[in-house]
């Protein structure tokens, strides 16, 4: 390029209007921290997979800058690469400049939601899931019951055997569906569980949306472990979905709606902490501030709420386990949940809890800090990529020789359980809290 074309380009830069508009714009002050050093590249699962700058954190930030400068249209190419981001935020851990990548990509997705017309079916699905399903527990229950029927009536077996799923192009996705519980957790909302022994803390349990129909047992285990360690556990009624899936997808209006409900519900009670066993939810719950403009009453409420938000592993490791644990002679490996490690910067707490169980031997997995491909709804929207990442993950998990894979988020559990089936690794996949519960119950 010659000096003169560069100058022309400079002129063009200043002349073009930004491709962003309205609320939730990726802010200059956020993206200007990126000095394009490239230290994030090798930490990015999609860059590692394809080797394309466009699918690296640095490249995605650059595309956001280019759209803001009006040099790149907010069109198909931009949407494709922003969609392909897992939002795992491993780049944030790698970034020395402190770029809040998650905030940028979520704002970019809000802009896409606002300024880009997706295909009809995609719009319909997104609207249904984020605005008409996840915020409404009753609707989730109804849908879950039909899914339960599908999974348990033999219909699933027939569908899988008949090959019809393959014909519909759903075979890959179908195997990632959450198995539905027989008894949903909804009936526990509004209950209080007393602390066993001396009360050390009073906490609220955040129960989520899909987790209530698919992870009731994890919730029950969480309550048992907390009460056994001296916590009074309240499961506030009226709580709803955290809004993480919506926020990650750019449906910030939907995320704000559920956030308001949760803020009201949880700030009403006087709790020492609000606990979640889902790292993905926790990461969004701890960032409710991002959804509201600074200076507003809601922003202040979000700030007060965030201060109390704790991941179950974080809370238990800080509180200290007092309940006696039985010996579990097990070799386990821990897969970092991205939204715990990268989103909440929690690395040691789950490992500390695992080591606290007598007999448990923790073997570190190679690349445990890389995403398993679950990434919220990514395994449904970008199934092929998700499965490629899962294959890598299973290779490393198998290499540890550990019969048990432990993680800290329901999404990761589902994904890796599917992984152990697809790749026939014969491993069991459990949540940290479930393993603690097992050691607890064997002692009792």
Q: Which residues bind other proteins (CB under 8 A)?
A: 1, 3, 6-7, 9-10, 13-14, 16, 18, 28, 31-43, 47, 51-54, 59, 62-63, 65-66, 68-73, 77-78, 94-99
d(CA 370, CA 90): 7
Rounded least distance, CB 394 to other proteins, Å: 19
Q: How far apart are CA 414 and CA 427, in angstroms?
A: 13
Query: Do β-strands 192-193 and 231-234 pair in parallel, antiparallel, or remain unpaired?
Result: antiparallel
Provide, rounded to whole angstroms, the least separation between the CB of residue 2 and other proteins.
9
* Three-state SS at 334: strand
The smaller minimum CB distance to other proteins, of residues 20 and 206, is found at 20
CB 46 within 8 A of CB 335: no
Tell the smallest beta-carbon distance from residue 416 to other proteins (Å): 23
Residue 317 half-sphere exposure, CB side, CA atoms within 13 Å? 18
Smaller CB separation from other proteins, 95 or 332: 95
Are 69 and 16 in contact, with CB atoms under 8 Å apart? yes
**Closest distance to other proteins from the beta carbon of 71 (Å):** 7
d(CA 121, CA 428): 37
Strands (E), 231-365: 231-234, 273-276, 309-311, 330-334, 360-362
d(CA 105, CA 287): 14
The nearest distance, CB 112 to other proteins, in angstroms, is 15
Min. distance of Cβ 396 from other proteins in angstroms? Answer: 12
Q: How many CA atoms lie within 13 A of 404 on its CB side?
A: 16
Between 66 and 356, CB nearer to other proteins? 66
Q: Which is nearer to other proteins, 294 or 297 (CB)?
A: 294
- Hey, is 402 helix, strand or coil? coil
Residue (41 or 133) nearer to other proteins, CB: 41
Show the tokens assigned to 431.
Answer: 């949540």
Alpha carbon distances (Å) from 98 to 27, 42, 64, 87, 88? 14, 17, 17, 16, 16
Strands (DSSP E) along 190-314, which ranges? 192-193, 201-205, 231-234, 273-276, 309-311
Query: Judging by DSSP bridges, how do beta strands 330-334 and 404-407 pair with one another?
Result: parallel
Q: How far is the CB of 348 from other proteins (least distance, A)?
A: 10
CB of 228 to other proteins, least distance (A): 31
Cβ distance to other proteins smaller for residue 55 or 113: 55
Query: Minimal distance in Å, beta carbon 81 to other proteins?
Result: 9
* CB 64 to other proteins: min, Å: 10
Residue 282: burial class (beta carbons within 10 Å; 0-12, 13-18, 19+): buried
Of the pair 42, 187, the CB lying nearest other proteins is at 42
Closer residue to other proteins, CB minimum distance, 30 or 437 = 30
Residue that the structure tokens 């540890």 belong to: 400
CB nearer to other proteins: pick between 228 and 346:
346
Which residue, 56 or 276, is less far from other proteins as judged by CB?
Answer: 56
**CA gap 336, 236 in Å, rounded:** 29
Beta bridge partners of 203: 233, 273
């Amino acid at each position: 390029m010659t000096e003169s074309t560069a100058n022309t380009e400079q002129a063009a830069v200043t002349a073009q209007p930004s491709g962003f508009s309205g609320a939730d714009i990726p802010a200059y002050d956020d993206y200007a921290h990126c000095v394009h050093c490239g230290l994030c590249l090798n930490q990015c699962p999609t860059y590692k997979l394809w080797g394309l700058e466009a699918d690296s954190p640095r490249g995605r930030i650059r595309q956001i800058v280019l759209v803001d400068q009006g040099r790149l249209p907010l069109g198909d190419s931009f949407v494709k690469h922003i969609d392909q981001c897992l939002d795992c935020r491993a780049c944030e851990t790698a970034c020395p400049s402190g770029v809040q990548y998650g905030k940028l990509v979520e704002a970019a997705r809000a802009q896409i939601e606002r300024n880009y017309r997706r295909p009809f079916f995609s719009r319909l699905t997104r609207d249904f899931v984020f605005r008409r399903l996840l915020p409404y527990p009753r609707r989730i229950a109804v849908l879950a019951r039909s899914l339960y029927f599908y999974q348990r009536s033999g219909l699933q077996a027939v569908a899988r055997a008949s090959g019809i799923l393959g014909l519909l192009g759903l075979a890959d996705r179908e195997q990632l569906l959450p198995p539905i519980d027989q008894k949903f957790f909804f009936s526990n909302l509004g209950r209080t569980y007393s602390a066993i022994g001396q009360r050390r803390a009073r906490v609220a349990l955040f129960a989520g949306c899909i987790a209530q129909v698919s992870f009731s047992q994890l919730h029950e285990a969480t309550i048992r472990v907390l009460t056994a360690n001296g916590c009074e556990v309240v499961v506030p009624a009226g709580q709803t979905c955290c809004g993480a899936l919506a926020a990650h997808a750019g449906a910030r209006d939907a995320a704000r709606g559920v956030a308001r409900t949760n803020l009201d519900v949880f700030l009403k009670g006087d709790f020492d902490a609000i606990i979640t066993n889902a790292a993905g939810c926790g990461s969004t719950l701890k960032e409710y501030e991002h959804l509201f403009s600074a200076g507003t009453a809601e922003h202040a409420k979000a700030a007060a709420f965030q201060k109390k938000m704790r991941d179950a592993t974080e809370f238990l490791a800080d509180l200290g386990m007092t309940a006696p644990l039985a010996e579990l002679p097990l070799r386990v490996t821990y897969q970092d949940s991205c939204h715990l490690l990268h989103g909440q910067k929690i690395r040691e707490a789950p490992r500390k809890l695992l080591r606290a169980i007598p007999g448990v031997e923790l073997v570190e997995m190679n690349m445990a800090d890389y995403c398993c491909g679950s990434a919220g709804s990514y395994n449904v929207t970008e199934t092929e990529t998700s499965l490629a990442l899962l294959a890598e993950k299973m290779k490393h998990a198998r290499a540890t020789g550990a019969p048990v894979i432990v993680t800290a988020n329901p999404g990761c559990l589902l994904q890796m359980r599917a992984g152990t089936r697809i790749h026939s690794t014969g491993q069991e996949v459990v949540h940290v809290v479930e393993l603690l519960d097992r050691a607890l119950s064997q002692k009792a």
